[in-house]
Chain A
Amino acid sequence: MLDDVDLTCEAGEIHALVGENGAGKSTLAGIAAGELSADAGEVLRDGRIGLVHQHFALIERLCVWENVVLGHEPRRLATIDRETARTFVRQLGERYGLDVDPDALVEDLPVGIRQRVELLRELARNPSILILDEPTAALSPGEVERLFSTIARLTENGVGVLVITHKLDEVFAHAGRVTVLRRGIVVERRPIAEITREQVARAMIGGDIPSIPPHERTNGAVVVRVRELAVPGAIENLSLHIAAGEILGVAGVEGNGQSALADALAGLTPFRGSVERPTAIGIIPQDRLVEAVIPGWSLVENAMLGRERAAAKGSWRIDRAAARAQCTAIVERFDVRTTSIDAPLATLSGGNQQKLVVGRALIDNPAFVIAYNPTRGIDIGATATVHTELLAARNRGAAILLISFELDELFALSDRIVVIARGALRGEFTERRFDRDAIGRLMVNA
């Protein structure tokens, strides 16, 4: 996983650790924080190293203060001194700009606030170094700003912050130094002033970045028409349409009705209103491991999921040879890197798993594609493959609904962008005239 890696993080600095998925960043973070052990080498810590995980490790059914003081509870005789705990959380929050209601139940909190709780929990233990693993993966632009202002306060207080990310914008806006990890080896380490974005990107993937083919605007007929869609508790009176050969981007902060919209269009949830769409549909679900694949199954079996008919012989028997041929076709066309198509999918990196999911959705040339965060958590190379294939599908005449929490992704791919907030569309941007500030405002204020 890691080979002869050395890394330092100094008091008061922001050090960015970048690399593609599977490069070993999270492993390195776990070793540094003492959660994992290394086969060789040593970790020298001057004080405590706190680690904020990518997938927050909070206890959902405990409240905020319980999560923060767990393991070092303030006591009054034999009981927990709740008032002291609440005050402690409030004061810590004020000091670092992380205000949270100490009595809120974690499961009721949105993602951005949960991250504050996780930060508070680590800060409560006075770390000298704080490691943040992909801290902005699920945050809105405003929340990202807020997070980095908190990080700035930390460094002012002498805490060293190691940020693991693959978003180069953030690296160049905030970090003092950058270390690039590729396949478990440090390939680059420099002060940020002495390196360019292109150099970092090339170091990450070990070559040139694949370029995205240009748009070819085709004016097709409208094939997807949604009128006055309503899903109780999630969407109210939403109407939209998508033409053949068009990518409609949906911008919004997580939890504003995107999931209900995707599920309603996919036929996975009951709804009111009318949805006209082609029956041939390809779906790239939002959560790969939950909705898209069965990790213990082989690539062949996963490639068949949801399209078993395509490999059926007669009306009921699966044609193993055809299934294998189709899987091979997906693996080759979508550049899925694997030792064997019979290997369990779980043995692949996240990016390669996702390429299989995307390939499965697109291989039969569906007239309509729902892509929900199609590149979430995958590396630059895999992202480029996914983007290229989505555009290729569009150029072949597919109507594509692209729901993404990444504005950059929406800007790069969409022909039109609508903004969703609190279950309704709040604005539309056409003809590729996308205004980042206006979209960001609509996402949060509406």
Chain B
Amino acid sequence: MTLSLVLSLLALALVRGTPILLASLGGVLSERAGIVNIALEGEMTAGAFAAALISFFTRDPWIGAIGGVAVGAAVGFALGFAATRWRVDQIVAGMGINLICTGGAAFGLIFVFNQAGVTPQVPAINQALWAMVVLGIVLAAALQWVLSRTPIGLRLRACGENPHAARAAGIDPLAVRLYASAIAGALAGLGGVFLALGELNLYSDGMIAGRGFIALAAVIFGRWTPLGAAGVALIFGLLEALQFALQGNIAWLPSDFLQALPYIAALIALLGASGRYRPPAAEGKPYP
């Protein structure tokens, strides 16, 4: 294998890994605050669809990108609101959000563009692709620092471990969880923007393709730390890149299997991780 081939493989791994990375950072943030986030998939979908939609109508991809992040944040806020103010079961709420977002995007395609499956081509920010890759890695490092070194990070972790103790220390666990969930939605939305406007210039049904759930696996396998999750997300990206590289080169291996590779890897990783890694103690438990 030549050096240039290896480099192009690694470059592809970074590109494929970044949307997973961004969503997994959101997952880390909300789960460390105590909210199980299986809505990452829906938040990515909402972000990607909104970005393409807004870019189409404004003809300005940057407004589209910002809009995608904002819609992701709004969906995250909705999850946080349901989980904190209404004390809805977080798994059920997350599942509902996933269904609403994927279904809503599919409906929106027909309602707005009068065509199923895919938007027309929209103005994109492909030139900023690498800037977003770098942004993702910088965000991972920054989040790691915030969680481990700053007062707000300590308070956020406290809310995920024991909200009652946090409350006694004068912290409002409901507010912390709500905002953590909203920021998580923004990060997952950014992952969707990356797919729709960074790599491509459209939204199509199924384009998220389970990346939100893979990001969730990265959260767990990365032991709920930003850098850990980012590293695992990039490994999943590498698997996706490998799948592209190998496709058509190994005659006896069906391409379906290669496409399934990242998902199989996520499953095996979770099997290995289950029981060994402990989630935040109060994760998924409504407060008060």
Task: Mark A residues whose CB is within 8 Å of B.
Answer: 35, 51, 57-62, 66-67, 70-73, 75, 78-80, 121
The answer to whether A35 and B168 have CB atoms under 8 Å apart is: yes
Stretch at the interface among B60-68, B157-165, B179-187, B261-269: B157-165
Is the Cβ of B150 less than 8 Å from the Cβ of A78?
yes
Picked from B150, B158, B162, B280, the residue with its CB within 8 Å of the CB of A80 is: B150
A61 to B154, CA, bound (A): 11
- Chain B interface residues toward A at CB < 8 A: 149-151, 154-155, 157-158, 161-162, 164-166, 168-171, 278, 280-281
Q: What is the chain A residue whose CB lies nearest that of B166? A: A70
Instruction: Give the docked Cα–Cα distance between A58 and B155 (Å).
Output: 13
Taking A57-B165, A60-B281 as contacts, is the C-beta distance between A71 and B150 under 8 angstroms? Answer: no
Using A62-B157, A80-B149 as known contacts, say yes or no to A71 and B281 having CB atoms under 8 A apart: no
The listed residue (A35, A59, A78) touching B161 by CB distance below 8 A is A59
Question: Are the C-beta atoms of A71 and B169 separated by less than 8 Å?
Answer: yes
A60 to B281, CA, bound (A): 9
Contact across chains for B169 and A70 when beta carbons are under 8 A apart: yes
24 chain-A/chain-B pairs, Cβ below 8 angstroms: A51-B168, A57-B164, A58-B162, A58-B165, A59-B161, A60-B161, A61-B278, A61-B280, A61-B281, A62-B157, A66-B154, A67-B165, A70-B155, A70-B165, A70-B169, A71-B155, A71-B166, A71-B171, A73-B151, A75-B151, A78-B150, A79-B149, A80-B149, A121-B169
Chain A at the B interface: SS class: loop
Interface of B: prevailing SS:
helix
Closest 9 CB pairs of A and B: A71-B169, A73-B151, A70-B169, A71-B170, A79-B149, A59-B162, A57-B165, A59-B161, A59-B165
* A60 engages B169 (CB within 8 Å): no
The answer to whether A60 and B154 have CB atoms under 8 Å apart is no
A420, B278: Cα distance in complex, Å: 32
Contact of A79 among B150, B164, B281 (CB under 8 A): B150
In the complex, what residues of B have CB within 8 A of residue A35's CB?
168
The interface residues of chain B lying within 8 Å CB-to-CB of A67 are 165
Chain B nearest CB: distance from A135 CB in Å?
A: 17
Supposing A60-B161, A60-B281, A61-B281 touch, asked if A70 and B154 sit within 8 A by C-beta, the answer is yes
Chain B residues near A58 (CB, 8 Å)?
162, 165
A31 to B14, CA, bound (A): 55
Q: A57–B149 Cα gap in the complex (Å)?
A: 23
CA of A51 to CA of B167 in the docked complex: distance in angstroms? 13
How far in angstroms is the closest Cβ of chain A from B164?
6
Complex formed: what's the CA distance from A35 to B157 in Å? 22
Shortest C-beta distance, A39 to chain B (Å), equals 19
Of chain A, the residue at the smallest CB distance from B149 is A79
Instruction: Tell me which of A51, A57, A73 contacts B154 (CB under 8 A).
Output: A73
Is A57 touching B155 in the complex (CB atoms < 8 A)?
Answer: no
Of A59, A71, A80, which is in contact with the most chain B CB atoms at under 10 Å from its CB?
Answer: A59
A57: which of B157, B162, B278, B280 is its contact (CB, 8 Å)?
B162
Further contacts, 13 of them, CB under 8 A, given A57-B162, A57-B168, A59-B166: A58-B162, A60-B161, A60-B162, A70-B165, A70-B169, A70-B171, A71-B166, A71-B171, A72-B169, A75-B151, A79-B149, A80-B151, A80-B154
Q: What residues of chain A lie closer than 8 Å to B151, measured between beta carbons?
A: 73, 75, 80
* Shortest distance between the CB of A15 and any CB in chain B (Å): 22
